[in-house]
Structure 1
Amino acid sequence: MEIEGVRTDRLGLLLDQFDKAREMAGVRLAGLGDEEYLWEPVPGCWSLRRRAEATTPRAFGPGEWLLDLGAADIPASEYAEVARQAAGGMSVEKIAEDWSVTVERVEQILAHTGEPEPDETPLTTIAWRLGHLHFEFAGNWEWTFGERRQDPKQMIDFSPSAALTLERFWPVIDRWRADVGALTEDQLDKVGLSQYPYGSAPEEPFISVLWGANLEFIHHMAEIALLRDLWRARFPTPR
């Protein structure tokens, strides 16, 4: 049964999901200030740092401000994905290259049995989460619709200003949405339409890349919304 104004095709469903998430995110990010943007609720957070003050070993960015990134590893939550890559015929060497780890680390994960230990992952600030989404969507666009030459980690000049960050961020998100919206059914099924250099996108049909991008946007925006709620709860309004 068709309902007027409701799309049920594959691309339509993913676009409607993204559009709703984009609308909600815009509302939840309204009024974001610099102090809240950079707020570190616990010690050891990942955030933006001045180049001279960076403490994480792989912090990156082209300008004065870098986005924290720790030592390369494969989190326990991705062990199943590594097993899937190997079962699909990807070599141990290629898996190691994709995850920026050693061959020995990949072999260790493939030999693992039982439930993996939970990951110990750092809490990240609103600034980090927005920066992460910014470079990933800019990079995904570049390596799908653009010239496919720029390193995603060097494309975004991160800023400690919340207002400037959002001013730069939303056009990147909307450009991605516009070009995804023009895709054909054949392009959705095309393996390698995205050549994004980090991860397995070049080996996947684009619809898989697309739902993964939606998931990335939705879950990080939900985390940002929670951090905003916690920020406000620090100083509750007297009744």
Structure 2
Amino acid sequence: MTTLSQDLLDLSDFAWQRLRDRVEGLTDDEYLWEPFEGCWSIRKTETGYVADGSPFAPEPAPFTTLAWRITHIVDILQEDRTATWFGHQPLAEDGQPPVPASAADALAALDHAYAVWRGRLAALSPEDLARPMGEVAGPYAEHAGSSFALHILDELIHHGAEVGTVRDFYRGVRAEDPFADALAGEVTPAERPALLAEAAAARRWEVVPQLAGLGFGISERTKSGATAAHVAAGTGELDSLRFLVEHGADLTLTDPRFGADVLGWANWGQQADVVAYLESL
């Protein structure tokens, strides 16, 4: 049986990896994007960047940009209280939370802030988690350390979800169709080798044969590690799976998330027809 400390670490790592995957490829334009007037973001001053804010937030709360949200997550994870409220002291190398000026700076700051938080969380003893935090926690003095750890994880989870939503919003208003670009000869297999797998992940089955004909790899993987055959098997797209098999799809590859091959995905998705087909090969 796992301990409370290990459960907290596992939840933290899971939430963190989900967020880190969602910010991969972030650009400066997206990082600083303000879709309408009145957004809170970060602003350049004579001494650096600062985040918009007020001790008394407007009602309703303003829309906050990715720059503001990521800066806020960095601050939550790295601020001194994620050590001191547990009765520990920050390490000299922990530093203070920055206000990142660019997307690249933001990703580096996120990585560092999470490393700081995880190190502090991993250092907590059962006694740290069980005892009241005391005067340092102000109105939460009587709350156990575990309640504060759960609060920080809640902040990571819900602000991470907001970041993902804003990225979806940004992508939606700047809709692109890389599959159409590939069919028009504007994207090549060398430039985007996993495009056929991406088409399967997006359920664009109608373009999969066309992309295969243009030389896009049948057994390439999406960022999450699934091939087109994994997706077809798991979602019951038997005709598409047959096409992939006939064109050399490697059915033995396992994905890193579930550690399952193509048949494993079919079984997990309860796709009886697909299972029967694969077992007949």
Superposed CA deviations along residues 96-124 of structure 1, whole A, max 9, x for unmatched, are xxxxxxxxxxxxxxxxxxxxxxx511110
Instruction: Specify whether residues 193 and 164 from structure 1 end up closer, same or farther in structure 2 by C-alpha distance, changes over 3 A only.
Output: farther
Superposition map of 1:194-209 within 5 A: 195=136, 200-209=139-148
2:14 is paired with a residue of what secondary structure? helix
For 1:142 and 1:184, the matched residues in 2 are separated by 13
Identity of aligned residues (%): 29
Residue 229 (1) aligns with residue 173 (2): no
For 2:66 and 2:102, the matched residues in 1 are separated by 12
* Match of residue 166, structure 1, among 84, 107, 110: 107
Give the letter for the 1:225 counterpart: G
Give the letter for the 1:13 counterpart: D
Partner of 1:13: 7
* Match of residue 137, structure 1, among 70, 77, 80: 77
Contact 1:191 1:203 in 2 (8 A): yes
Residue 127 (1) aligns with residue 70 (2): no
* 1:195, distance to aligned residue in structure 2 (A): 3.4
* 1:202, distance to aligned residue in structure 2 (A): 4.2
* 1:135, distance to aligned residue in structure 2 (A): 1.5
Instruction: Specify whether residues 47 and 34 from structure 1 end up closer, same or farther in structure 2 by C-alpha distance, changes over 3 A only.
Output: same
Residue 28 (1) aligns with residue 22 (2): yes
Could you tell which deviates more after superposition, 10-19 or 185-194? Answer: 185-194
* 1:176, distance to aligned residue in structure 2 (A): 1.3
Contact 1:49 1:67 in 2 (8 A): yes
Q: How many aligned positions are there? A: 173
Contact 1:187 1:193 in 2 (8 A): no
Partner of 2:158: 219
* Match of residue 180, structure 1, among 118, 121, 132: 121
1:39 is paired with a residue of what secondary structure? coil
Flag structure 2 segments of 5+ consecutive residues without an equivalent: 181-281
Give the letter for the 1:135 counterpart: D
For 2:134 and 2:105, the matched residues in 1 are separated by 31
Instruction: Specify whether residues 121 and 155 from structure 1 end up closer, same or farther in structure 2 by C-alpha distance, changes over 3 A only.
Output: same
* Match of residue 49, structure 2, among 41, 44, 65: 65
Give the letter for the 1:43 counterpart: E
* 1:142, distance to aligned residue in structure 2 (A): 4.8
Flag structure 1 segments of 5+ consecutive residues without an equivalent: 53-62, 76-118, 149-153
* Match of residue 149, structure 2, among 192, 210, 226: 210
* 1:200, distance to aligned residue in structure 2 (A): 3.8
Contact 2:32 2:65 in 1 (8 A): yes
* 1:51, distance to aligned residue in structure 2 (A): 2.5
Instruction: Specify whether residues 66 and 194 from structure 1 end up closer, same or farther in structure 2 by C-alpha distance, changes over 3 A only.
Output: farther
Superposed CA deviations along residues 157-196 of structure 1, whole A, max 9, x for unmatched, are 3132110121122122122112212322111012227936
Q: CA RMSD in A?
A: 2.7
* Match of residue 39, structure 2, among 45, 56, 66: 45
TM-score, length basis structure 2 = 0.55
Give the letter for the 1:146 counterpart: Q
Contact 1:38 1:47 in 2 (8 A): yes
1:183 is paired with a residue of what secondary structure? coil
1:66 is paired with a residue of what secondary structure? strand
Contact 1:38 1:160 in 2 (8 A): no
Give the letter for the 1:123 counterpart: F
1:195 is paired with a residue of what secondary structure? helix
* Match of residue 133, structure 2, among 176, 182, 192: 192
4+ residue runs of structure 1 moved beyond 6 angstroms?
none
- For the pair shown, the structure with the greater C-alpha radius of gyration is 2
Superposition map of 1:70-109 within 5 A: 70-72=54-56
